[in-house]
């Protein structure tokens, strides 16, 4: 609109109104700056993708099998770590079988290799979750090999820890050694044909065993430690494995402060008197 087209009075009013509106406009504030020394926001790490509870692979060279407990799904990071690690090992075993089969050149009938592992929930007592496993493998030798495995998970740190992390630095681990030794000696008295501990088959150190968290009579606690001992450690192969449980009261003073509160009560089950395994593996034919 041209002010020339308005009477002088109206033109003056219009000009003043336009000027006042222009003066009242405030410039937009500049974007806020991050405080000095602060880091830009970091996107949260995506949650691990859900893994299966089983893995099976069979070919002319080998059969490999993995079974995980249903409860592991409550801990996605633990589930992902264990599944991926176990499957990688099984695939490596299967690849070795294929290489060995090709190298045989058909000189003798090929008997497929076999490796299987089954994991069980042992104890769930925040901040600790304990798993145990049985495994066996057959590569055509005089007899299949077998053994036990363990995994201890810290739910607060969301990571795996080694059994030695349960104990104070500098703790007298001879206390645990003696408790395991006494339990093995007692179990041998209940096992027919067992060879007493001697110079050849002596007491094992705790570090020579597979330590598993034992469930407690007190809900939400770990009642002790179960030591799994492979053949040849405390007796001949024919004598088999040993499983003995030591109550938490026997080693409470050795525990690290971060984990001492997770232990309490007594072991929910003392195990079999002769030290035979309390769990069995479901072998896939």
* Domain CATH number, residue 120: 3.30.565.40
| 24 domain-assigned | no
**CA distance linking residue 16 with residue 182, whole number of Å:** 103
Nearest to 81 by CA among 167, 2, 158: 158
Give the range among 36-40, 104-108, 218-222, 279-283 with minimum mean pLDDT: 36-40
Give the range among 9-23, 198-212, 263-277 with minimum mean pLDDT: 9-23
Same domain, 133 and 238: no
pLDDT of residue 115: 98
Write out the residue range of the structural domain in which residue 183 sits: 163-279
Tell me the HSE value of 150 on the side-chain side, using a 13 A CA sphere. Answer: 25
Same domain, 222 and 256: yes
pLDDT of residue 15: 43
Same domain, 124 and 193: no
User: What mean pLDDT, rounded, does the chain reach?
Assistant: 87
For residue 75, pLDDT over 70 is answered with yes
Maximal CA-CA distance, the chain: 125
Domain boundary, last residue among 126, 161, 196: 161
For residue 132, pLDDT over 50 is answered with yes
Domain boundary, last residue among 161, 193, 218: 161
**Secondary structure class of 171 (helix, strand, coil):** coil
> Per-residue pLDDT averaged across 158-172, rounded?
97
For residue 25, pLDDT over 80 is answered with no
> Per-residue pLDDT averaged across 145-164, rounded?
96
Same domain, 168 and 156: no
142 vs 265, higher pLDDT: 265
Domain count, the chain: 2
For residue 157, pLDDT over 90 is answered with yes
Please identify which residue in the block is written with the tokens 């044909």.
193
| 221 domain-assigned | yes
For residue 11, pLDDT over 80 is answered with no
pLDDT of residue 21: 41
């Amino acid at each position: 609109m041209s002010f020339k087209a308005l009477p002088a009075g109206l033109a003056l009013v219009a000009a003043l109104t336009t000027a006042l509106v222009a003066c009242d406009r405030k410039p937009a504030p500049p974007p806020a700056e991050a405080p000095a020394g602060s880091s830009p926001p970091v996107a949260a790490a995506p949650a691990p993708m859900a893994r299966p509870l089983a893995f099976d692979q069979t070919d002319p060279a080998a059969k490999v099998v993995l079974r995980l407990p249903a409860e592991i799904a409550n801990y996605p990071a633990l589930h992902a770590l264990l599944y991926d690690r176990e499957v990688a090992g099984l695939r490596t075993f299967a690849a070795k079988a294929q290489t060995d089969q090709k190298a045989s050149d058909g000189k003798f009938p090929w008997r497929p290799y076999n490796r299987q592992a089954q994991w069980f929930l042992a104890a769930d007592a925040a901040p600790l979750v304990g798993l145990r496993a049985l495994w066996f493998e057959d590569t055509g030798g005089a007899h299949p090999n077998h053994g036990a495995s363990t995994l201890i998970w810290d739910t607060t740190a969301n990571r795996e820890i080694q059994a030695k992390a349960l104990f104070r630095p500098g703790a007298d681990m001879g206390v645990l050694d003696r408790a395991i030794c006494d339990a093995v000696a007692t179990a041998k008295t209940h096992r027919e044909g067992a060879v007493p501990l001697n110079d050849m088959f002596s007491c094992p150190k705790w570090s020579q065993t597979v330590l598993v968290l034992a469930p407690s009579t007190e809900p939400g606690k770990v009642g002790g430690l179960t030591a799994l001992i492979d053949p040849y450690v405390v007796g001949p192969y024919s004598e088999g494995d040993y499983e003995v449980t030591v109550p938490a009261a026997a080693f409470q003073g050795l525990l690290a402060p971060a984990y001492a509160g997770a232990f309490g009560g007594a072991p929910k089950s003392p195990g079999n008197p002769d030290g035979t395994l309390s769990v069995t593996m479901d072998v896939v034919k």
